[in-house]
Structure 1
Amino acid sequence: MQITPDSQIIFTLPLGPLGEWGVSATIVYTWVVMAVLVIGGRIATLGILSSAATIEPTSRWRIGIETVIEMIRDQIREIGGGDPGRYLPFIGTLFLFTLVSNLMGVIPGFMSPTGSLSTTVALALCVLVAVPIYGIAEDGLLGYLRHYFEPTPLMAPFNIIGELSRTIALAVRLYGNVMSGTVVVAVLLAVVPFFFPVLLQLLGLLTGVVQAYIIAVLAMVYIASASGDEPGAAENQIKNKETGA
């Protein structure tokens, strides 16, 4: 039984004298998720310029997309306390990619890319790179580096270790939750295949939404901290979500 998408090779590419390169399900399904997001985004923005000049109501699809965007903007504003437009492209993409990946995991035959440690590490590395970029853009290079020496220069090594460790924790958190759900579903379906599928699919949907929310909020908390903003009640929101999940 293949549970992680890294272990399933979809097809191989010949590399001449170097042999062959096996393309795993992680890569294939990651591109599938990206295609879904691009196509969905394109459909949602069709005719947006023409409709902007009128006050006529837009389609239900557009209204749904705009509602999701406004929800993300509200969360960013509540956590960071600044203009959400600066963070929306990164946080919104991170949230939607994780959400769509998790939700598509309920489709028979589809293996969620977020069930792969390589994918979750890549997402965590994106956050690791985004934190100093946003921090330097907000406070300047010297202002951002000053955070590592607060409250005393002796804390610099510990602050650096803390930033690296929370990135690792971010990857392991997402991977562990998605992977554990996949393992539980596989075991229960093997034991009692006729009673649990529907309930487990619903549980998988709920867990996928919660995990996408958590990783997006954590990323925004890290960025807000690097920018000198106070995360506020965001950490309490994360704890409440995880407790409910």
Structure 2
Amino acid sequence: MDYKSYPVVENIFGISGLNANLANILMITVCSAIVLLIGVLSARAIQMKPTGMQNVFEWLIDFVKGIINNTMDWKTGERFLGLGLTIFLYILIANLSKLPFVITTEPGHVVWWKAPTDDPLITLTLAAIIIVLTHFYGIKIKGFGGYGKDYFKPVPFLFPLKVIEEFANTLTLGMRLFGNIYAKGILMALLVSLGVSGFFGFFAAALPTIAWQAFSLFIGAIQAFIFLMLTMVYMAHKVADDH
């Protein structure tokens, strides 16, 4: 691919004003399939003495359980273990699917392969789903009356601020994830562009590119952890009696 031909364009498919990004649909499907495959491979031959994938998956379960226990009591939080595992794995895979280059096709260099979390619409949608789930479980566990009273605690006049907080939580949860993954991709594209600019440019960019790619793995894991932690914090605010 010729990096001098940027910017690339999104692969948008529209029917009667209803537009869909085909690259997003492709990558959401791929990441979801990978998460499903990890779960199936980890649980297909469960043994008393775990090895291989089962051992890694059990470590992941303990990791998510620890996060839940830090935000709410286990009796309440046990039901969110599956949600936490799915969120962490999906966002981790989505973040790491960002390659050190962009797969495009002619004409117009249409993007086909990208990180799903590199799109604010996807990250904000994920955040909105989480916020809706917190309301759902808050009503389910506390009842509508108990759930509604929380908006007027500790003093009633804070009610408008608590309503605004719900929108703020959605924006911060979604845009934090998008901003970090998008910035990571921009810097990687700049480093790769420097590398293809010439013989000396290749060697000047090679080491920073390798180092940044390694650091990108760390960024992807940290952002998945932060998203999971904030999800459980928001959930605890709705379902726990004391928060």
TM-score interval (norm. to shorter): 0.7 to 0.9
Find the counterpart in structure 1 of residue 201 from structure 2. Answer: none
CA RMSD of aligned residues (A): 2.3
* TM-score, L = length of structure 1: 0.81
Corresponding residue to 2:224 among 212, 216, 230? 212
2:152–2:159 contact (8 Å) kept in structure 1: yes
Show the counterpart of 1:200: 212
Amino acid at match of 1:61: M
Shift of 1:161: 0.4
Contact 1:189 1:196 in 2 (8 A): no
1:79–1:230 CA contact under 8 A, matched in 2: no
Which deviates more, 185-194 or 162-171? Answer: 185-194
Contact 2:100 2:192 in 1 (8 A): no
One-letter amino acid of the counterpart of residue 98, structure 1 = I
Task: Give the 3-state SS of the residue equivalent to 2:206 in structure 1.
Answer: coil
Aligned equivalents of 1:194 and 1:71: distance in 2? 35
For 1:65, the equivalent position in structure 2 comes to: 57
Mapped partners of 1:22, 1:79: distance in 2: 37
Give the distance between the partners of 2:208 and 2:125, measured in 1 at CA: 33
**Alignment check: 8 A CA contact 2:67 2:232 kept:** no
Once the two structures are TM-superposed, the CA of residue 47 in structure 1 deviates from its matched residue by 3.0
Q: Give the letter aligned to residue 198 of structure 1.
A: I
- Percent identity of equivalent pairs: 27
Question: Which residues in structure 2 correspond to 1:1-245 (within 5 Å)?
Answer: 1=6, 7-9=9-11, 18=16, 23-48=21-46, 51=47, 55=48, 57-83=49-75, 84-106=77-99, 109=103, 110-192=113-195, 193-229=205-241
Structure 1 residues 197, 39: closer, same or farther in 2, change over 3 A?
same
1:235 aligns to what?
Answer: none
- Per-residue CA distance 1:179-210 (angstroms, 9 max, x = gap): 01111111122124433221111111000000
CA distance in 2, matches of 1:218, 1:21: 31
CA deviation map 1:8-31 (0-9, x unaligned):
328x58x6xx59966421111110
Q: How far, CA to CA, are the matches of 1:20 and 1:82 in structure 2? A: 43
The answer on whether the counterparts of 2:177 and 2:223 sit within 8 Å (CA) in structure 1 is: yes
Residues 22 and 162 of structure 1: is their aligned pair in 2 closer, same or farther, counting only changes over 3 Å?
closer
Contact 1:131 1:223 in 2 (8 A): yes
The answer on whether the counterparts of 2:138 and 2:238 sit within 8 Å (CA) in structure 1 is yes
1:59-85 CA-partner distances (Å, limit 9, x unpaired): 311111111111111111122123342
Counting matched residue pairs gives 218
Amino acid at match of 1:186: A
Tell me, yes or no, if the aligned pair for 1:120 and 1:171 is still in contact at 8 Å. Answer: yes
When residues 86 and 2 of structure 1 are mapped into structure 2, their CA distance, relative to the original with a 3 A threshold, is farther
Ranges of 4+ aligned residues in structure 1 off by more than 6 Å: none
8 Å contact from structure 2 (residues 116, 122) kept in 1: yes
Equivalent residues of 1:80, 1:229 under 8 A apart: no
Do the aligned partners of residues 85 and 178 (structure 1) sit closer, same or farther apart at CA in structure 2, a change above 3 Å counting?
same
CA distance in 1, matches of 2:19, 2:154: 50
Contact 1:72 1:88 in 2 (8 A): yes
Structure 1 117/21 Cα, relative in aligned 2: closer, same or farther at 3 Å? closer
Q: Which segments of 5 or more consecutive residues in structure 1 lack a partner in the other structure?
A: 232-245
Q: 2 CA distance for matches of 1:149 and 1:129?
A: 19
1:119–1:20: structure 2 CA closer, same or farther, 3 Å change rule? closer
